Amino acid sequence: MCGIVGYIGKEQATPILLDGLKKLEYRGYDSAGIAVMNGGEINIVKAKGRLKVLCQMTDDGAAVKGACGIGHTRWATHGEPSETNAHPHCNDEKTIAAVHNGIIENYAELKAKLIRRGYTFYSQTDTEVATKLVDYYYKKYNDPLRAISEFALRVRGSYALAVMYCEYPETVFAIRKDSPMIIGTAKGGAFLASDVPAILKYTKSVYYVDNLEIVRLKSDGATFFNLDREEVEKVPVEITWDAEAAEKGGFEHFMLKEIHEQPKVIADTLNYAVKNGKIDFSEIGLENKFLKKLNGVIIVGCGSAYHAGVVMQYVIEDIARVPVRVELASEFRYRNPVASGELVIVISQSGETADSLAALREAKKKGLKTLAVVNVLGSSIAREADYVFYTKAGPEISVATTKAYTAQLIAGYLFAIKLAEVKKTVDAAVISALVTELKTLPEKVERLLADKEKIQKFAAETVDKNNVFFIGRGIDYAVGIEGSLKLKEISYIHSEAYAAGELKHGTISLIEKGTLVLGVLTQGALIEKTVSNLVETQSRGALIATVVTQGVRLPETGFERVFYVPETDSHFTASLAVIPLQLLAYYLSVLRGNDVDKPRNLAKSVTVE
């Protein structure tokens, strides 16, 4: 959701900005722009549409000279995607330029005040308001840091804002609140960006900017200030993954690469929390005495993270016998939930999702302890939670999550088993068998991936379907909702996921000749029941496909399209059943000619409500 890049150093800025913006394309955008300082003048180039348009306009960066600049990819919030609304925005004299990620909630009120003070506005954006507000205070105090702190004192909402002033031609200033921003420093240059992949090629030494911290970036490094403009000491973090981790590595799409990374992701996430065959949460900080007293868990998340939470609910309740409720973060944050004594688990790949962050804050306000299950190191949710379980998925670039969801499931299983161990709801031998079984998952996922052509063929057969239903019971239902979301977001095929027993309470009226109904059948005793529901839809003309645990004998049904997944403990089947569903969504998206990694209207990290 919008990407920001900034550079000041010895090299030409424009190629570095364009390269950085390319690395942030996954975040989702519909226009792009750069502002580069040259000889005390700011040059701005903007374009609607894909980055390649901006690259063409600037001769791949060669046509815009200067060693200090800021760049932006915009995902439209206020105002349509257009060149005028694209960032950077500037003041009338073109002596100040700024890019912004987030939403200024009181922009209308601020705009009215600025109009009264003689400002004119050309775009529909809140960012032009932000830029002119900084300009107003810069003119008033003649101090670039003060202008930014005055801005921060007056705006409500979220922002990562980078500003250049002509009177400071070798400096980039920035501030953030609830929108991600990192700073990188290297020999002879300094960088800012919304996310690490944008600057990984140049440096692995990264500072995570805190809320309401102001940054002054010069070619010899970064200085940080609080809102009172006092210097703040910060320690950089060394990024452990390399630039290759954020490249396609020979795969046609990031999504396919990330699907294939899942065996490693499972192994890495297990290695993080399993030591010598035992689950060890000491790094996470969760102590046994805290877990022992726990009498409830609330899980919140959005999209796939919420879906991982639904799987977790089944597993935790079944193994640890602790009541669990799963809620959409966007609902939890506003409904003044009744809660006391529960642990709130916030699941988020990016750690920046606005609703999940707000849900975390709501939980803390109620005095609840919070555990973040987060993939991105140093992200807002990770920093604000009481405990953090870092999933080891590595950088996820594809908008449609696959490996991060998989890693979240592993975190959930480990949490459930640990809770069961502490609460002694299952025998030590069972605990040990469950941990041993978890270790077999990477190889089982490998086996599924080796068989991907079967799914590819099935995708070719079903490419013209316009309606797909996923049904299942228990964990099979939970994995169905994830399969359905995957399909919707990248293939643009309408799809619904239903708890199989619910189907005949209304939805079955949508089944007609040729409708594809996909049954997930991994949950022992529940399989026969879901098969009956599949047969009911088959009688109404549906085309049936099933994902079934190997070795399960289905009743005589005539189902022809059966995709087997290896046997595992029934609590862990989502980790296997989801693989064919991810592959199906992927191949259907490719066959339909969609932009797999950057589906329409979507952003990787949803930092606005």
Whose Cβ is closer to ligand M6R: residue 16's or residue 357's?
357
Least distance from ligand M6R to the Cβ atom of residue 288, Å: 28
Least distance from ligand M6R to the Cβ atom of residue 346, Å: 9
Among this protein's residues, is 2 annotated catalytic? yes
Check residue 339 and report its DSSP letter.
Answer: -
Whose Cβ is closer to ligand M6R: residue 196's or residue 485's?
485
Least distance from ligand M6R to the Cβ atom of residue 529, Å: 29
Question: What is residue 557's three-state secondary structure?
Answer: coil
* CA angle (455 as vertex; 473, 315 as ends), nearest 5: 30
Residue nearest to ligand M6R (CB): 303
Residues near 56 by Cβ (< 8 Å), separated by ≥ 6? none
Contact 169, 40 (CB under 8 A): yes
Which has the closest alpha carbon to 193: 232, 153, 156, 160? Answer: 160
Whose Cβ is closer to ligand M6R: residue 73's or residue 607's?
607
Least distance from ligand M6R to the Cβ atom of residue 544, Å: 26
How far apart CA 248 and CA 403 sit, in angstroms, is 14
Q: Look-up: residue for tokens 């919008």?
A: 2
Whose Cβ is closer to ligand M6R: residue 194's or residue 546's?
194
* Beta strand pairing call for 516-521 and 494-499: unpaired
What are φ and ψ of residue 350, in 5° steps? -75, -30
Least distance from ligand M6R to the Cβ atom of residue 203, Å: 24
Residues near 459 by Cβ (< 8 Å), separated by ≥ 6? 583, 584, 587, 588, 590, 591
How far apart CA 524 and CA 547 sit, in angstroms, is 13
Whose Cβ is closer to ligand M6R: residue 171's or residue 313's?
313
Whose Cβ is closer to ligand M6R: residue 573's or residue 605's?
605
Contact 481, 310 (CB under 8 A): yes
Calculate the CA 320 to chain-centre distance. Answer: 29
Least distance from ligand M6R to the Cβ atom of residue 520, Å: 18
Q: Look-up: residue for tokens 């630039």?
A: 243
Complete edge-to-edge strand list for the sheet that includes strand 68-74: 41-48, 31-38, 68-74, 3-9, 189-193, 182-186, 205-208, 237-238
How far apart CA 160 and CA 373 sit, in angstroms, is 24
Least distance from ligand M6R to the Cβ atom of residue 305, Å: 4
Q: Given 23, 392, 488, 604, which residue is catalytic?
A: 604
Look up residue 523 and give its two tokens.
Answer: 């949950």
Least distance from ligand M6R to the Cβ atom of residue 356, Å: 5
Whose Cβ is closer to ligand M6R: residue 391's or residue 462's?
391
Whose Cβ is closer to ligand M6R: residue 58's or residue 350's?
350
Q: Given 2, 68, 90, 302, which residue is catalytic?
A: 2
Least distance from ligand M6R to the Cβ atom of residue 196, Å: 15
Contact 159, 180 (CB under 8 A): no
Residues near 87 by Cβ (< 8 Å), separated by ≥ 6? 33, 46, 72, 74, 98, 99, 100, 125, 127
Least distance from ligand M6R to the Cβ atom of residue 382, Å: 12
How far apart CA 534 and CA 540 sit, in angstroms, is 10
How far apart CA 351 and CA 209 sit, in angstroms, is 14
Whose Cβ is closer to ligand M6R: residue 91's or residue 408's?
408
Q: What is the DSSP string of 248-273?
A: -TT-SSHHHHHHHTHHHHHHHHHHHH
Which has the closest alpha carbon to 159: 111, 184, 194? Answer: 194
Among this protein's residues, is 90 annotated catalytic? no
Contact 520, 471 (CB under 8 A): yes
How far apart CA 605 and CA 32 sit, in angstroms, is 17
Number of Cβ within 10 Å of residue 600's Cβ equals 11
How far apart CA 4 and CA 385 sit, in angstroms, is 26
Site of interaction with ligand M6R (CB under 6 A): 302-305, 348-350, 353, 356, 399-401, 485, 489, 605-606
Q: Across the chain, which distance is largest between two alpha carbons, in Å?
A: 81
What is the number of residues in the chain? 609
How far apart CA 160 and CA 177 sit, in angstroms, is 6
Whose Cβ is closer to ligand M6R: residue 58's or residue 348's?
348
Active site members = 2, 604
